[in-house]
């Protein structure tokens, strides 16, 4: 069964909750009651930021050493703030929708713990700070035992019990694991008519909830993507990843599953409770097709040029990165250029232009970078460092490269292409790579006497576009990924 066929298992609804000051370490679980007026119930931007600051500042002082206590507290909090909740259907566009929720002003102040604070047994924080969790005593249960003994994760425990190797893994000490544990309420969101996945697919879903790296809440807050134990051939040696986001829904995983309990520590890792199942993502091509409101022009261009089926065919590439121009980005080119590109006379230019947005065999997330062995004999899997990172990514257009700069400070990440175009929405996680939405259509540079001249987004004529593309179109054979 293809992963795309099990998407109906994803949550049908998640709650919108503005945490009150007393929420501390939990974001409330879903509520069935919706407000009469959505706009009336949303606090101002400044109020929302203040509430997030208050909530996350108190994470340091929160002491929760039992999964039940954490979930129970979140449930009680839900009842207190249910008048601020509303239901929203989950679909792939949660990735795009999350960008409108983003509160970038949280910035550095939300970083409660250093990313280097990875030893959770007896670890000390910076001078003048408390340790990064407030447990009164050392945990004595593994992450599996915590899940199996909790009355809030009985369905997850029953699913894990079907796989002896997963039990052994979560009881073992090979790593300090991180488990994003769906509560029983998360399983209740599965539609009754949803097809039952095979045992193999269910195991993939389980592994997609587990990372072999240690991610306490403080580290999650400054991380954009998290590696999991799910390995897929379509990404090569790199594991499938989860994406995290802070917005008006609170702290979410994959943009729709809200973290409702944090930092339940075991002897071999940490558990965070989530309110929706995490479903492995579909292919890049499928995501583009799912979002016509954002990518209908891109989809039309990829279809007309034959690139869409090539991108969807994962037999000829391992991983990949697509810098996807939105419909608005195409509009900025103007009606004359669009009219030319989508005419029969401009189709070869359209193909060349779109090839310049596609990188095969290299997967660049905002905070991780996978190379494929088909690109480099010395197979590498590199994490992007903090600070500044530069890389040239070879595209499908006559091996023309994109100059990519990634600047990172805490959770804040900015990605620029060719020193001009900005990635407006990053980390559209896919089974065969990643999608980044760009603010402008990427136009190849023009050769000049002293190097090249990048397009700065100014007005451009059809003739200038042709001048930039024609030198790169010597080979008109079908381009393989």
CATH number, residue 337 = 2.30.180.10
pLDDT number for residue 442? 95
Integer Cα distance of 297 and 293 in angstroms = 9
**9 domain residue, yes or no:** yes
Query: What domain range is 379 assigned to?
Result: 284-472
The pLDDT of residue 429 is above 70: yes
Q: Residue 37 has what pLDDT?
A: 38
User: Do 247 and 371 have their domain in common?
Assistant: no
Over range 326-347, report the average pLDDT: 94
- In angstroms, the CA 282 to CA 472 distance is 32
Is there a single domain that holds both residue 292 and residue 331? yes
> Higher confidence at residue 261 or residue 79?
261
Verify that 180 and 319 share a domain, yes or no: no
Instruction: Report the pLDDT value the prediction gives residue 409, as an integer from 0 to 100.
Output: 86
Residue found under tokens 């001009």? 420
- Determine which of 51-60, 176-185, 295-304, 310-319 has the lowest per-residue pLDDT on average: 51-60
* Residues 201 and 288 placed together within one structural domain of the fold: no
Dihedral of alpha carbons 229, 231, 235, 238, sign: positive
Q: How confident is the model at residue 103 (pLDDT cuts 50, 70, 90)?
A: very low
Domain count, the chain: 2
Cα atoms in the 13 Å half-sphere on the side-chain side of 474 = 5
Segment 95-102 mean pLDDT: 54
Q: What is the pLDDT of residue 132?
A: 41
Q: Which residues contact 99 (CB under 8 A, 6 or more apart)?
A: 424, 425
* Domain-terminating residue out of 253, 274, 295: 274
Task: Specify whether 30 is located in the same domain as 77.
Answer: yes
Do 403 and 299 fall within a single domain?
A: yes
Same domain, yes or no, for 119 and 262? yes
Domain boundary among 274, 297, 328: 274
Confidence of residue 237 (pLDDT cuts 50, 70, 90): confident
pLDDT > 90 fraction of the chain, expressed in percent and rounded:
53
Q: Do the Cβ atoms of 146 and 271 come closer than 8 Å?
A: yes
Report how far residue 173's alpha carbon sits from residue 268's, in angstroms, rounded to the nearest whole number: 6
Are residue 317 and residue 429 in the same domain, yes or no?
A: yes
Residues 373 and 417 in one domain: yes
Confidence of residue 138 (pLDDT cuts 50, 70, 90): confident
Q: Which of 274, 302, 320 is the last residue of a domain?
A: 274
For residue 480, the model assigns a pLDDT of: 52
**35 in a structural domain:** yes
- 163 and 120: one domain? yes
In a domain, 279, yes or no: no
H or E stretch including 289?
helix 284-290
Answer yes or no: do 319 and 250 share one domain: no
Structural domain includes residue 479: no
| Residue % of the chain over a pLDDT of 70 | 64
Residue 199 lies in a domain: yes
Question: Average pLDDT, whole number, for the chain?
Answer: 76
Nearest one of 370, 222, 395, 407 to 415, comparing CA atoms: 407
Whole-number pLDDT of residue 67: 63
pLDDT at 8: 33
**Helix ranges restricted to H, 25-103:** 38-41, 45-57, 67-81, 94-101
**What is the spatial distance between Cα 179 and Cα 273, in angstroms, rounded to a whole number?**
8
């Amino acid at each position: 069964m293809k992963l795309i066929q099990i998407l109906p298992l994803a949550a049908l609804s998640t709650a919108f909750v503005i945490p009150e000051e007393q929420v501390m370490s939990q974001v409330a679980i879903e509520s069935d009651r919706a407000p009469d007026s959505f706009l009336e119930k949303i606090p101002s931007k400044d109020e929302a930021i203040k509430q997030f600051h208050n909530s996350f500042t108190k994470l340091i002082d929160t002491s929760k050493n039992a999964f039940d206590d954490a979930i129970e507290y979140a449930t009680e909090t839900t009842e207190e703030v249910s008048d601020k909740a509303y239901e929203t259907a989950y679909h792939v566009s949660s990735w795009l929708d999350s960008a409108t929720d983003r509160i970038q002003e949280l910035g550095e102040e939300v970083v409660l713990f250093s990313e280097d604070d990875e030893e959770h047994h007896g670890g000390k924080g910076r001078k003048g700070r408390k340790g990064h969790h407030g447990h009164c005593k050392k945990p004595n249960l593994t992450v599996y035992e915590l899940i199996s003994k909790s009355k809030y994760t009985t369905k997850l425990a029953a699913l894990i019990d079907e796989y002896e190797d997963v039990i052994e893994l979560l009881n073992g000490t090979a790593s300090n694991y991180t488990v994003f544990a769906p509560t029983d309420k998360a399983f209740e969101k599965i539609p009754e008519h949803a097809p039952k996945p095979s045992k193999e697919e269910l195991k993939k879903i389980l592994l997609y909830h587990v990372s072999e790296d240690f991610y306490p809440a403080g580290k999650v807050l400054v991380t954009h993507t998290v590696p999991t134990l799910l390995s897929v051939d379509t990404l090569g040696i790199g594991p499938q990843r989860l994406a995290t986001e802070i917005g008006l829904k609170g702290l979410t995983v994959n943009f729709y599953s809200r973290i409702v309990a944090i930092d339940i520590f075991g002897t071999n890792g940490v558990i965070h409770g989530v309110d929706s199942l995490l479903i492995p993502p579909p292919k890049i091509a499928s995501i583009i097709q799912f979002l016509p409101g954002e990518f209908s022009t891109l989809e039309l261009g990829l279809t007309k040029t034959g690139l869409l089926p090539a991108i969807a065919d994962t037999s000829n590439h391992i991983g990949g990165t697509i810098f996807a121009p939105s419909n608005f980005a195409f509009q900025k080119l103007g009606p004359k250029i669009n009219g030319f590109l989508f005419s029969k006379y401009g189709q070869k230019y359209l193909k060349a232009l779109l090839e310049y947005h596609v990188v095969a065999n290299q997967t660049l997330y905002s905070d991780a970078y996978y190379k494929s062995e088909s690109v480099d004999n010395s197979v590498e899997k590199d994490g992007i460092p903090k600070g500044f990172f530069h890389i040239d990514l070879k595209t499908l257009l006559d091996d023309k490269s994109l100059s990519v700069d990634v600047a990172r400070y805490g959770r804040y990440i900015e990605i620029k292409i060719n020193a001009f175009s900005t990635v407006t929405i990053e980390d559209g996680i896919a089974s065969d790579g990643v999608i980044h939405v760009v603010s402008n259509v990427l136009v190849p540079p023009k050769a000049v006497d002293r190097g090249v001249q990048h397009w700065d987004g100014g007005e451009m004529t059809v003739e200038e576009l042709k001048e930039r593309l024609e030198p790169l179109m010597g080979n008109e054979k079908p381009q393989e990924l």
